[in-house]
Structure 1
Amino acid sequence: MLLTETAFAKINLALHVRHRRDDGYHELETLFAFLDVGDRITARPAKEDSLQVLGEFARALDDPFDNLVMRALGAMPRSEGLAVTLEKNLPVAAGLGGGSADAGAIFRLVAHHYGTREDIMERAAKLGADVPACVASIAQVGRGTGTQLRRANNDWEGMPVLLVNPRVPLATGPVFAAWNGKDRGPLPQGKVSDIARAGRNDLETPAIALVPEIGELLATLGGTNPLLARMSGSGATCFAIFHTQEAVRGAMDRVARLHPSWWQMPGRLR
């Protein structure tokens, strides 16, 4: 029996940082969205859990046997082990929730084939703030550290999206540490399109200070006439949303011409 699941790429259509908490985390208001593309997970029943990592970004994982996939497997008890192969298509430390998306895919895979647990979201939250959102992998408003979730009215479902990364890893901690601490106001209300257009990403400025290529990336995407271009999460990946697939192809051509080394992935919003 071969089990398969996609770890859908996560983007933050908007990310408002409200204040630093006493526990070291930050109070957030964010609009999570997911693409129909990402990492790929396959698994077969086995005597014990194991993990093999393949794909373009496999070497970027420092210790693939202590990553979120193995921790997610350990968090979901079952009667047999799973031999998992992770095809790592998404860049690491890129603002796409790659590890969290992988963990979310494991939770879905195990729940689908071995039975859903009522406490699946509580188990997911113990692995990271983005993991519960990645388990659901649908458009949601997240509050608190991102684990307080409410489904969003997604009028952008199916919209073409282009992800671009300058191939510069950017850890989350330094970006949050560089945030200036200024509360610029709450997340807007309304449908996904309303929130995204009126929202912002408060981590863009500190991320650009750390990785100036992000500013150049946003300028390049802005020149492709998108509906919206913004950095995702803590960076360095940025996204652009378009009306048509033809517009995405045109944007990809422009990016490839101006910055041939940059990573790109097209998809659609789920």
Structure 2
Amino acid sequence: MNETAYAKINLALHVRQRREDGYHELETLFAFVDDGDRLSVSPAGQDCLTTQGEFAGKIDGPFGNIVAKALSALPHGKGWAVSLDKRLPVAAGLGGGSADAGAVFRMVERTHGLPDDWRRRAARLGADVPACVLSKPCIGTGTGTELELVAENDLAGCPVLLVNPREPVPTGPVFGAWDGVDRGPLPQGTLREVAMRGRNDLQAPAITICPAIADVLEALGRTEPFIARMSGSGATCFALYDSREAMEAAAGSIAREHPGWWQMSGALC
């Protein structure tokens, strides 16, 4: 089997309050890009994991990796030999590890079906994992694990450019730097309207930790997308365009001006 671990972006991320358990109440609009890490599975005597790709050296070893944890969380018959091509940067706001786990859940669903409590099992691995299992536009509330699928996706196929300055940004310090101000709920409307009128409350605190995020947003803004915003807790930023030609021109411009930055282009699922 082969499966893509689709890159997650937060079209909007509203932080409402700190919780007593140390987590935060969120309202976020998840969307997914039609590219990401790649996983392949073949039969084996026991579960095992091999990694390759540009960012393979940045992830946990085979026993601590979230892919191995996802395998342990689900009944899937005999052993699976999983190969992970790590193409997404780590600690980047793209849910890379969560997307990898989500891909494992989808492969198990395809071959053995998922248990009724799969959402609970997924949430134990990480707050973004349930959304990454679905890999469809959805609104997340609570800590991001309570999901509502978006009925009408008016951004399906929208050209998207992801750019990362190659600086990892740990999630905890960014949430810790949030100023605690509730700036209001997600707006109502179509997917595009919510994205346009929404915001990312973690963008400002992330920039204080990683100023290069502001440089990425400025560079993306010069390419005239209809929206440019940071995803998750950073440092990856995304830009959405009305045409593939505009996105490809932007990707070329960014590559020439900032050859050291990572980028990935595609379309929203």
State the Cα deviation string for residues 20-47 of structure 1 (Å, max 9, x = none): 0000000000000001000000001111
Instruction: Determine the structure 2 residue equivalent to 1:43.
Output: 41
Task: Supply the distance in 2 between the matched residues of 1:7 and 1:262 (Cα, whole angstroms).
Answer: 21
State the Cα deviation string for residues 107-142 of structure 1 (Å, max 9, x = none): 000110122322211211111110000000000000
* 1:253 and 2:235 are equivalent in the alignment: no
Task: Supply the distance in 2 between the matched residues of 1:175 and 1:63 (Cα, whole angstroms).
Answer: 25
* 1:123 and 2:93 are equivalent in the alignment: no
* 1:112 and 2:110 are equivalent in the alignment: yes
CA contact (8 A) 2:48 2:62 kept: no
Consecutive unaligned residues in structure 1, runs of 5 or more? none
* 1:233 and 2:232 are equivalent in the alignment: yes
Consecutive unaligned residues in structure 2, runs of 5 or more? none
User: What is the deviation of 1:64?
Assistant: 3.8
Q: Does 79-88 or 58-67 show the bigger shift?
A: 58-67
5 Å-filtered alignment, 1:145-224, equals 145-152=143-150, 153-224=152-223
Task: Supply the distance in 2 between the matched residues of 1:119 and 1:202 (Cα, whole angstroms).
Answer: 31
Q: Does 118-127 or 161-170 show the bigger shift?
A: 118-127
Q: Does 110-119 or 10-19 show the bigger shift?
A: 110-119
Q: Secondary structure at the match of 1:220?
A: helix
State the Cα deviation string for residues 57-104 of structure 1 (Å, max 9, x = none): 001114243111000000011320100000000000000000000000
Which of 69, 72, 78 pairs up with 2:70?
72
Q: Secondary structure at the match of 1:247?
A: helix
Partner AA of 1:87 in structure 2 = D
Q: Secondary structure at the match of 1:126?
A: helix
Task: Supply the distance in 2 between the matched residues of 1:116 and 1:133 (Cα, whole angstroms).
Answer: 15
CA contact (8 A) 2:229 2:239 kept: yes
Instruction: Determine the structure 1 residue equivalent to 2:136.
Output: 138
Instruction: Determine the structure 1 residue equivalent to 2:12.
Output: 14
Q: Secondary structure at the match of 1:65?
A: coil
Q: Secondary structure at the match of 2:11?
A: strand
CA contact (8 A) 2:92 2:164 kept: yes
Which of 52, 55, 67 pairs up with 1:54?
52
Task: Supply the distance in 1 between the matched residues of 2:133 and 2:175 (Cα, whole angstroms).
Answer: 24
User: What is the deviation of 1:12?
Assistant: 0.1
Partner AA of 1:223 in structure 2 = R
User: What is the deviation of 1:249?
Assistant: 1.1
Partner AA of 2:82 in structure 1 = V
Could you list the runs of 4 or more consecutive aligned residues of structure 1 that deviate by over 4 angstroms after TM superposition?
none
User: What is the deviation of 1:257?
Assistant: 1.6
Q: Does 71-80 or 6-15 show the bigger shift?
A: 71-80
TM-score, normalised relative to structure 2: 0.98
- RMSD value, Cα: 0.8
CA contact (8 A) 2:47 2:80 kept: yes
Task: Supply the distance in 2 between the matched residues of 1:16 and 1:132 (Cα, whole angstroms).
Answer: 18
What is the aligned-residue identity percentage?
Answer: 60
